[in-house]
Amino acid sequence: MNSKELVERYFDSVEGRSAAPITDYLAADIRWHLPPAHPFGSVFSGIDGVLGMMAKGAGWLDFATLQIRRHALIWEGDNVVVHFELTAQTCSGEPYLNQYLLRFRCCDAKICEVWEFLDTYCQYRAGLYQQVI
């Protein structure tokens, strides 16, 4: 499986088209970078660290309403970049819309590093940071 196929399978799980857990695609020593302007802005290491980071934001969005519309997937060797729009309802019932860009670095058929870019001000305006500020 090449890096592009790996990232596409990861998104199949994220979007609910596959029952495989996302951890199937992550390297044991994965590193996930969130931007400094994000309330959790840091580097999260290892599967437990990444899942812990994801759990921190789990109360923000109603995941049953989550929809991802990919605009582009760019693949070069071990690097895959995905630009997408994410829509959902917040847990308080408000609409949420944001643009994301994720850069994945893959090694040995696993995702070993992710850099996440998003509009943090959009999240702030949507009231998502009230729980952590």
What does DSSP say about strands 79-90 and 110-118: parallel, antiparallel, or unpaired?
unpaired
Q: 56-106: per-residue pLDDT in tens?
A: 877 888 888 999 999 999 999 999 999 999 999 998 889 999 999 999 999
Rounded distance between C-alpha atoms, residue 99 and residue 83, angstroms: 7
The mean pLDDT value of the chain amounts to: 93
Token pair for 133: 């500020």
Q: 11-46: per-residue pLDDT in tens?
A: 999 999 999 999 999 999 999 999 998 888 899 999
Say which amino acid occupies 9. Answer: R
Please tell us whether the domain made up of 3-131 is placed in CATH 3.10.450.50.
yes
pLDDT at 53: 92
Rounded distance between C-alpha atoms, residue 7 and residue 76, angstroms: 12
The residue extents of the domains of the chain are 3-131
